[in-house]
A and B are shown apart, each in its own frame.
Chain A
Amino acid sequence: MDMNQYLEIFIEESQEHLQNLNQSLLGLETNPKDLKILNEIFRVAHTLKGMAGTMGFSGVTGLTHQMENVLDAIRNGKIDVNTEIVDVLFECLDYLDNSINSIASTGKEGSQKADAIIASLNNIQNNKPVAATTAKEQKAEAKEDHIKFNQYDENVIRKALQQGMNVFKIRVILAKDCMLKSARSFIVFQTVERYGEIFKSIPKVEDIEDEKFDNEFTIAIVTKEPDSLIKKELESISEVVEIRIDQIEVEVEAAAPEEAMQEIRGGSAASVAAVEEKEGNEETQNKKGKAGKTVRVDIDRLDNLMNLVSELIIIKTRMEGAGGESRSQDMTEAVEYLERITTNLHDAVMKVRMVPIERVFNRFPRMVRDLSKDLGKDILLNMSGEETELDRTVIDEIGDPLIHLIRNAIDHGIEEKDVRIANNKSSTGTVYLRAYQDGNSVVIEVEDDGHGINTEKILKKAVERGLISPSAANELDEKKAIELLFKPGFSTAEKVSDLSGRGVGLDVVKTKIESLNGIVEVESIRGKGSKFIIRLPLTLAIIQALLVTIGEEKYAIPLNVIRDITTINGATIRNIHGQEVVLNRSNVLPIVRLDKMLDVENSQSADSEELTAVVVKKGEKHAAFIVDTLIGQQEIVIKTLGKFLSGIKYIAGATILGDGQVALIVDTNSLI
């Protein structure tokens, strides 16, 4: 079977499970007695083990197996949860996460060694002595050790005997206080399989794996080795109390030896396959219970669907105009109905692309936990609005900037414990992470109750780094000073920790957010804390835009950058240092002649008296874009110009208009 086709599913699902594990572990830390959480962790570890086993990733399988052991011990009350154990479990999580990532990027598990973690897992298991024997274990020994063979088994035995091989029945009795019976039996099975083929086991292999047996089990094997050797090997396994090996004898008939061996092999292979299949079924059942009715869809397919919907809308617009007067009532009704359907369809497809921001927020509790441990600060992370939805493409990009801001808040924002106490603050610092929808945009806030932003320090640093001159620094107000934070090459951390202050500063955050058509703002009160506010468009795919004509061409200007629309009398335009400007609301407004910038021929605006100007903002700056006429506001679907035309100046993308024509979207930022 080719595993490659399953690899992607494996990775996706594993990541989901790890996310789940992460949350459960955090839950376990605060709630060590919660059996539900423990069961969840166990389930995840088990599922991962099964999946990794099927895919042949032995590192993951090995570790999850050990995790299961420890978790099982906790579940049975043999070990109490403490922070050490949780820490080790977190280490396991990190290891698994790394492995999965490495599988995702290289297809291999990577060379990292799990030995240390496994050793600490073993320590946890062994340090704590076993407290009680379960009632179940007490009624061991009672059962007789006879195996019933069916016809198939008898055939196997007969053929083996014909070839002069030995057929043994091995009864294995484990120590009463054996903690991990399934693991022990697994070792027994492995050992036996080195010498021969197991063709029967009582209870069944599945039951043994699930620990559905008392202290003993019986297996039947075909082997070339003498019983004494196997006995010796098995007895060397710890926690195995007794091994009884008996010869099995069945009447021998004549048959071809070659054939026999093959059949035995075939038989055991089949039984293994059956076991795997059963495990698989159990997994899917487990999944069904939890995940409900979801389907994993490639984002490309959604884009394709989106394209088709856009096409449908375009053709619908055409149908509305078609037919004119001669259109029958029937036709009109049908088109109206079509319009309703397409609108709903469009909304539905857009919704499919929306993902709750929880997906990003999920990883933060863990991060904050680790950070607060590392830095020795008590930090409480207060999250709200996880259900707020954003376009999938935005979700994928927003993670890193948020990590950066949260790290900043904890590392630079929140004071050391003693400082906080000295300032009459609670010793526990709080970081708020909020998300909410505000009109057509989504706002994400990262707020801390630390010491706020020290503008003097920023100015000093900026001067040191040569970002501004000392004289200019004196003139900056607080707001301007804070903006310096976003300048490339700025980092204010006095202590360079490995968390933040590595030179990659807030400018990276700002660039990222702006590439998503969003903005970052900062609010800060000295001594009270600071707040970073990220404002993102609800979706990258669809925006409101103003359609304009320049010459014979149509262009779209995103509505969110437009301040207002005004007319300018050509005579009022002045020329200052080769730059055309106009006085507007007592401000000097630079003029951008779009026809010239975009090389449009036959523009009317060149020699007309009254100019139509779209005033566009970029941060604090404004400029008047001269256009010929305004067509109106419209919701447009943004399409990229593609790789072939990437890097075209002044154009941010393209969109398809109602008549099927392509209109370009003006990149106002690059023009101001």
Chain B
Amino acid sequence: MDAVNVTRQFVIFRLANEEYGIDILRVKEIKEMMNITRVPKAAHFVRGVINLRGEVIPIVDLRKKFGLPKVEETESTRIIIVSVDDLTVGLVVDSSSEVTEINGAAIEEAPAAIGNVEQGNIFGIGKVGERLIILLDVVKIITNSAI
């Protein structure tokens, strides 16, 4: 990482037993789970589309994208709306409740592979006290997913 001492804010969310982080500048909003309209013939990790104030937004199931087992939705399931350039996409996660500051110095480069997340989708591991947070590269996740 070049910008060693820059502190950035990350939206933290949970998937299975891991904590993940997304640069807050990419996050437009976090919505509670809502009815998703299935889109036939879409990629397996695309849950469908939702109506976000009159705009139709595609929804990606991050569990499916990362090859994690399917779970029932709970009260705490959230959709994180992220935007990359002119693409706006919702990401379904198990829960999300926190924004954390992580200093550039506390971010380590990603090891070869973490669990099922392809390395390209991760740009680093953030250390916050004892916790290890997998920091995702939203741009890559979305551009890799686009059809």
Binding site for B on A (CB under 8 A): 307-308, 310-311, 314, 553, 597-600, 639-651, 654, 656, 660-664
Instruction: Given the known inter-chain contacts A651-B40, A662-B49, please indicate yes or no for A644 contacting B146, CB distance below 8 A.
Output: yes
**Known contacts A553-B37, A643-B86, A661-B37, A656 near B51 by CB under 8 Å:** yes
- Residue B80 at the A interface, CB < 8 A? no
Q: Is the CB of A648 within 8 A of B39?
A: yes
Q: Does B70 contact A (CB under 8 A)?
A: no
Q: Please provide the 6 A-B residue pairs with the shortest distance between their CB atoms, ordered closest to farther.
A: A307-B54, A662-B37, A598-B40, A311-B54, A654-B56, A644-B58
What count of chain B residues pass the 8 Å CB interface test? 26
Contact partner of B41 among A642, A646, A649, A661, CB < 8 A? A649
Instruction: From the candidates A314, A599, A641, name the one contacting B58 in the complex (CB within 8 A).
Output: A641
In the bound complex, CA of A662 to CA of B41 (Å): 17
B131 to chain A: which residues have CB within 8 Å?
A: none
Determine whether the beta carbon of A651 is less than 8 Å from that of B147: no
Roughly how many angstroms separate A597 CA and B51 CA in the complex, as a whole number?
A: 24
Known A-B contacts A644-B142, A647-B147; A660 and B41 likewise in contact (beta carbons under 8 Å): no
What mask results when residues 51 to 88 of chain B are scored 1 for a CB within 8 Å of chain A, else 0? 10111111000000000000000000000000000111
Binding site for A on B (CB under 8 A): 35, 37-42, 46, 48-51, 53-58, 86-89, 142, 145-147
B56 contacts A640, C-beta separation under 8 Å:
yes
- CB–CB B146/A639 < 8 A: no
Contact partners of A647 in chain B: CB under 8 A: 147
Q: 24 A-B residue contacts at CB 8 Å?
A: A597-B40, A599-B40, A600-B40, A639-B56, A641-B39, A641-B49, A641-B56, A643-B87, A644-B58, A644-B142, A644-B145, A645-B39, A645-B46, A645-B147, A646-B147, A648-B39, A649-B41, A650-B41, A654-B56, A661-B37, A662-B49, A662-B50, A664-B37, A664-B40
Pick the residue among B46, B53, B58 that contacts A311 (CB under 8 A): B53
Contact A660 B55, beta carbon cutoff 8 Å: no
Query: Bound state CA distance, A605 and B60, in angstroms?
Result: 30
A663 touches B39 (CB 8 A): no
Chain A interface secondary structure, helix, strand, loop or mixed? mixed
Which residue of chain A has the shortest Cβ distance to B50 in the bound complex? A662
A598 to B38, CA, bound (A): 10
Nearest CB of B to A345, in Å: 14
Given contacts A553-B37, A651-B39, contact A645 B49 (CB under 8 A): yes
Residues on A with C-beta less than 8 A from B54 are: 307-308, 310-311, 314, 656
- Residues from chain B with Cβ under 8 Å of A660 in the complex: 51
Tell me, in angstroms, the Cα distance from A639 to B57 when the chains sit together.
10
* A640 vs B58: C-alpha distance when bound (angstroms): 11
Q: A654 and B37 in contact (CB under 8 A), knowing A642-B58, A644-B146?
A: yes
Q: Report the separation of the CA atoms of residues A662 and B54 in the bound assembly, to the nearest whole angstrom.
A: 10
**Closest beta carbon of chain B to A191's beta carbon, Å:** 53
Q: By the criterion CB–CB under 8 Å, are A648 and B147 in contact?
A: yes
In the complex, the answer to whether A307 meets B147 with C-beta atoms within 8 Å is no
User: A600-B40, A661-B37 in contact; A642/B46 too (CB < 8 A)?
Assistant: no
Since A642-B58, A662-B50, A664-B39 are in contact, a sample of 7 more A-B pairs with Cβ atoms closer than 8 Å, ordered by chain A residue number, is: A310-B54, A642-B87, A645-B42, A648-B39, A651-B40, A651-B41, A662-B49
What is the minimal beta-carbon distance from B45 to any residue of chain A, in angstroms?
12
Q: How far is the CB of B29 from chain A (nearest CB, A)?
A: 16
Residues of B within 8 A of A641 (CB): 39, 49, 56, 58
A648's contact among B37, B41, B86, B87, by CB below 8 Å, is which? Answer: B41
Q: Which residues of chain B are near A639, meaning CB under 8 Å?
A: 55-56
- Within the complex, the shortest CB–CB distance from A29 to chain B, in Å, comes to 46
Tell me which residues across on chain A come within 8 A of B56, comparing CB atoms.
639-642, 654, 656, 662
- Tell me which residues across on chain B come within 8 A of A654, comparing CB atoms: 37, 49, 56
The docked-state distance in angstroms from the alpha carbon of A181 to that of B108 is 75
Q: Which residues of chain A are within 8 angstroms of B89 by Cβ–Cβ distance?
A: 644
Q: Is the CB of A661 within 8 A of B35?
A: yes
Complex Cα gap A605–B40 (Å): 18
Contacts of B86 in A (CB 8 A): 643
Cα–Cα distance between A314 and B56 once the two chains are bound (Å): 14
Q: In the complex, A601 Cα to B50 Cα: how many Å?
A: 20
B142 — which chain A residues lie within 8 A by C-beta?
A: 644
Residue of A nearest to B85 (CB): A643
Contacts of A597 in B (CB 8 A): 40
A643 to chain B: which residues have CB within 8 Å?
86-87, 146
Closest to A645 in B: B58
Q: Evaluate contact between A644 and B87: CB separation under 8 angstroms.
A: yes
Of A307, A649, A650, A654, the most chain B CB neighbours within 10 A belong to: A654
Contacts known (A310-B54, A311-B54, A656-B54); A648 close to B49, Cβ less than 8 A: no
Residue of B42, B51, B57, B145 contacting most chain A CB atoms (<10 Å): B51
Q: Which residues of A contact B46 (CB under 8 A)?
A: 645
Of all chain B residues, the one with the shortest Cβ separation from A594 is B40
Q: How far is the CA of A661 from the CA of B38 in the complex (A)?
A: 11
Give the chain B neighbours of A661 by CB distance below 8 A.
35, 37, 51
- Residue from the set A314, A553, A641 with the largest chain B CB neighbour count within 10 Å: A641
Give the CA-CA distance A662 to B46 in the complex, in Å.
15
Identity of the chain A residue whose Cβ is nearest the Cβ of B40 in the assembled complex: A598
CA distance A642 to B48 in the complex (A): 12
**Bound Cα distance A50, B46 (Å):** 54
List the B side residues contacting A662 at CB < 8 Å.
Answer: 37, 48-51, 56
